[in-house]
Structures are given as structure tokens and as C-alpha cells.
A and B are shown apart, each in its own frame.
Chain A
Amino acid sequence: MKILVSIKRVADPDNASKLKVSSDGTAVTSEGLEWKMNPFDDWSLEAALRLTENASEKNARVGEVLLVSIGPNDEHTQRIIREGLAKGAERGILVEADEGNLDAGVVSAILKAIVDKESPDLVVMGKQAADGDSNVAGTKLAEELGWPVINSAMNILTRDDGKTLEVKRELDTGVATVKVTGPAVITTSDRILQPDSVQNGVTPDDHQYAKLEVGGRYASLKGIMQAKKKPIDQMALGDLGVDTAKSLNYTKFALPPARSGETTFVEDVADLVDKLHNTSKVI
């Protein structure tokens, strides 16, 4: 199985409260924050790796994972692609673009051009990016390809040699199960990191992956060494011949208003109940 995984760099999401707004109010500045792999893409990469390896044979590769990152062609984007290669992906593509010229529509158009060239069996994407929080690009890509999309997948089981997938996806009101005939786009939920989230027909079905609390697997030392030799194709937006007209224009950014008031440390349960009942009048 050949899987395309998109990976985006984002300003360190654990420190997003340190973001600032440019003096004219039209841009977000992330100075001082490290660039990290979008954590949602990291989860998707984990799913893609599980789908293309034999976990009981030291994660021996049995398929191909192709990483695509769209962004500035600099050391940070390259580092993030290398990080994905070190975790196990075979190849990377860096499409050079100024981040200010991207929106979900442009990103899905670029990814479509790459899918047309590479013909993967599956595209696995983060359901959102930790900066824009939009949840749009994956679904738009699927529609442009005429493919189905399964958003918020928590569990992926391959059937018929990977031609169909049985996927559980998270809803607001429960969990739905669908059977999808590929090629398809899948976006993943937090639960894709569970030890038994993926069955690929190669790794024994009862295999339990190590528990992952936050993100996908760490790269091994060997993986890091191997990644240095793996290819990263670099291309310019112009090479792809896609329409790069944006459909969104951000005119202004602002920090959220600070919460008013101090934290009151209450003495005990009686004090808390008194405050909630008599001061705040919420119970």
C-alpha cells in the first residue's frame, strides 16, 4: 500500500499562548517559538506507518509512506520532513510556498496535483492544523479527487488485501462504522494512537502497540541515521500548474481577551459551595 501523508509545520502548539500580533494587527508573529510538526499530522503519520509495516517483525516496512510538506524551503521545514522520515516514511516532497499565500483551498489543490502524479492508495491527513484549526483541507481534497473521505478516524481495519477499509469515526453523539473502497482520504482522531487502532493484514491482528500518550512514535537512532539518506524532492508551486488563488483573506488578528478576575483559593467544600451559591449564584 502506498500512502501519502501531509505534514505541516506549526509554531509550537504547547506555547501558543505566547503568540503575538504584528504592530499593524494583520499578522501573527511566532518569534521565539520553535517550529514543530503539526501534532495532528504526527498522529496521521503514525496511522500510515502502522498500515505499512509488520509490527511483529521490528516494524519491517511492507508499503510506502510519502510525506508532503508545503511551506518555506528552509531548515525548519526540512527538519520536520526528516523527522517523519526518521520515524519510518520512505520519501519526502517539499513544495515551496510562502505560508501567507496558502489556505485550505490552495493546499488541497497542491495536494491534488501530487496525488495525480503519485497515485497513492490512501491519503492520511491531520483533521486540522494546530494553527488554523480549520478542519477543511482533507475533505476538500477528497471532493476534488472524487474520492470518499473519512474524518476523525479512530480505528482502521484493512479488508480484501487493503482494497477496502473498515473505519470507525468519531461523531458528536457516538461512533459510526463505515466500509470504504479506496482510494480514499482519511483524517484521524486522538484515538488513532490507541494500541489496537490499526489492522493491516500483515501485522498479527491481536498485536498491541505500545501506549502512546501524546503523539506518534519516536524515531529510533537507526531511523535517524537512515533518514539522512532518504530523498526529499523539492519543487516550486509553479512546477505543479495549480490555481493558487486564495479564497480566504485574513484582515486582522487579535489576542483573546484576558479572563477577568483573580483565582480565589477556597478553604474547603463549604467555602466553595458558599461562593458558588451566594457570590457567583451559579448553583
Chain B
Amino acid sequence: MANVLVVAELLEGKARKTTLCAVTAAKQIAEGTGGSFDILSIGEGAGAAAEELAGYGAGKVLKAEIAGGYTCEKYAATVAEAGKGYDVLVACASAYGKDLLPRVAAKLGAGVASDISQVHTDGGKLSYTRPMYAGNMFGTVEILSDKQVVTVRQSEFEPAASSGGASPSEDVAVQTDAAADKVEFLGVEVVKSERPDLGDADVVVSGGRALKSADNFTNVIEPLVDALGAAMGASRAACDAGYVAPELQVGQTGKVVAPKLYIAIGISGAIQHLAGMKGSKTIVAINKDKEAPIAQVADYFLVADLFDTVPALTEAVKKL
């Protein structure tokens, strides 16, 4: 029987969708082992977020209000203390989860299975499958320590649906940590966008080095993105060149996405890019070079110059 604590991820006082993917994994673990799950709402606005998180069937929602910007040093001791009563701690393998949970694991002497794609509970025994080698291998792993720490790949766990009801909430004490005094949070530039989140959009349109400039992203890619109500992504080459912000990078070091439709425009399809999108349901490539490696995963391939084609595609989509 495994009792699970979900570590919520808050952004501006609201739980991010990533939290609900972690809830889904926590439910699988709890149901498969006859245990239960709770949620820890932690950060600025934890109280309000706890109310929002009370409708997902958790035994209770713990809350720890911590003001100011996030650093893992500021949160880890509180999460570890709250986690002492649980067998498994779960968060999403977002930048936040990958930053915070290993620190918590070290405090608890726990092994970490990171970025898992599946939970197994055969005979009540827990193991996890996780993509490795940029998605070219899947390993199944057991955690041998008393406590288990797990981060889950957002694209592999549907966000939990609200189940009604209201889990009771409980305050947990905020713990101090000497390491936290070594880091001063100076600020964050949060990118505001009206578009869907790259992590859970149904359609993603990504551009690559071939776009050649930030202006071309604005004038060629964005109209298609908006005509499809899509999220915008990019290759590392496009992010490195400053055509778009780094958080739009899709791939081994960027975001992993698995939308219903992924359109790769002027992207060659390097192994590290494929790592972030080959789980997409339908993949379209628009590329001048029909030999580009993106063909290995593309369902539809339009061999063409993107500057001629994409505006025409945008117009055609608008007419649908």
C-alpha cells in the first residue's frame, strides 16, 4: 500500500496544469497499491490554490504559504518534512519538478525516477517506465529506497478531471533551510501569451532555423499558429539564434509535447528534436529537403519552400 503526496506547481497563485498530470499518476499509484493520495499546495497563494485543488479526490490538501519568488532551497525542507508521512512523492517533470524534487529526495534519502511515462503496480509492487537516450530506449525501474520520489512526463499523463467533493485542507509548517539564505531571487520575466500552453496544446506549430529571423516567425509562423488555435514551438537552432524565446524549444532539452497535430516547418528533425515531439499523433513536415530526417516520423511531408507555402496554408486553414 503506497500513500502518495503530490507536490503542486503554482504559477501566480494558481495551480499549473502540470499539477493535474501529477495527480493522475498519483491516483494510478494509490489505486494500484490500495493506498491514498494527498496534495501539497506550496508557494505564494498556496491557500487559494489549495481550494482549487480540493476537487480532485485527494484525502486532504496540505498548504504551505511561502511568499516571494521560488527557489528550490526555499521549498525543499518544507516539502521533505510534509513528505515524511508518505511512501511516494510525485510532481510533474516540468522545469520546476526537475529542480525541486531531487533536492527533496536527497533530504529524504530517496531514489528518484524522473520523467516517467508509465506507472506499474503489478501485484502491488511499484515500478516505472521512463524514456531514456532522448526517447530511443525505455527503461523500467524500481526504486529501492524506503521512500520513492517520482517526476512524471506531462505529455504521458492526462490532466486529472475534477471529481467534485472537497478535500479538507490542513496547514503545514514552513521549514527553514540554511541553503536558502545563499540564493536571493531577483526577479522573473514571465512570458505572457494568449495561446495555449505548449505542454498541453492540441496543435503545435514549430519553426526552425530556416525561418532566418524573429520577424519571419512573427509574419510567417504566428498567423498559422493563430489560425489553428495552436501553441508555438521551435527548434533549438531557432531559440539559440534568438528568433523566439528559449521556453518554446521542443526536444531533449526543451519541452516534450505530444499533441494531436504537430507541424514542423523548416526543421531538419535532429534526434534531439525528435525526442520532444515524436509522440505526437499526426506529424506534418514542411521542408525543402525531402531527405530531411524529419521524414522518419512525418505522416505528411510537403516538399516546398516554407516562405511560399506557409502563408497559403494559413489562408486555406482560415477558410475551413
Contact = CB atoms under 8 A, between A and B. Distances in A.
In this complex, the interface size class of chain A, counting residues with CB under 8 Å from chain B, is 35 or more
Interface string B99-130: 10011011100111111000000000001000
Contact of B240 (A134, A170, A191, A246): A191
Interface string B248-259: 010011010000
25 contacts: A128-B253, A135-B93, A136-B105, A136-B114, A143-B102, A143-B106, A148-B180, A150-B183, A151-B72, A154-B246, A173-B191, A173-B247, A176-B189, A184-B182, A190-B236, A193-B240, A213-B237, A249-B141, A253-B139, A256-B136, A264-B299, A264-B301, A276-B282, A280-B261, A282-B281
Given A170-B95, A263-B301, 12 more contacts: A16-B136, A105-B111, A128-B253, A139-B99, A149-B103, A151-B95, A173-B11, A174-B190, A174-B245, A177-B186, A179-B186, A256-B137
A44 to B, nearest CB: 13
Contact of A280 (B114, B199, B236, B299): B299
B192 to A, nearest CB: 9
A171 B96 contact: yes
Given A140-B102, A193-B240, A16 B141 contact: no
Interface stretch (B20-28, B155-163, B311-319): B311-319
A114 B84 CA distance: 30
B271 A13 contact: yes
A7 interface: no
Given A248-B144, A265-B303, A139 B111 contact: no
Interface string A93-134: 000000000011100100000000000000000011011111
Contacts of B127: 251
B224 to A, nearest CB: 11
A181 B139 CA distance: 38
Given A177-B188, A266-B301, A272-B313, A134 B137 contact: no
Contact of B188 (A17, A149, A171): A171
Contacts of A31: none
A60 interface: no
Contacts of A134: 112, 114-115
A261 B295 CA distance: 12
Interface of A: 11, 13-17, 19, 21, 28, 40, 103-105, 108, 127-128, 130-136, 138-140, 142-144, 146-152, 154, 166, 170-182, 184, 189-191, 193-194, 213, 245-256, 259, 261, 263-266, 268-270, 272-273, 275-277, 280, 282-283
A130 to B, nearest CB: 7
Contacts of B298: 263
B61 interface: no
A11 B312 CA distance: 43
A265 B299 CA distance: 8
Interface of B: 11, 18, 69-73, 76, 93-96, 98-99, 102-103, 105-107, 110-115, 127, 131-145, 178-180, 182-191, 199, 203, 228, 236-237, 239-240, 245-247, 249, 252-253, 255, 260-261, 270-272, 278, 281-282, 284, 290, 295-304, 309, 312-313, 316-317, 320
A273 B316 contact: yes
Contacts of A184: 182
Contacts of A177: 185-188
A250 B300 contact: no
B299 A179 contact: no
A189 B245 CA distance: 13
A172 B95 contact: yes
A115 B125 CA distance: 37
B114 A135 contact: yes
Of B182, B186, B237, which is in contact with the most chain A CB atoms at under 10 Å from its CB? B182
Of B113, B132, B295, B301, which is in contact with the most chain A CB atoms at under 10 Å from its CB? B132
Nearest to B181: A181
A130 B142 contact: no
Nearest to A25: B140
A255 to B, nearest CB: 7
Contacts of A13: 133-134, 271-272
Contacts of B103: 139-140, 142-143, 149
Contacts of B304: 268
Of B99, B138, B252, B261, which is in contact with the most chain A CB atoms at under 10 Å from its CB? B99
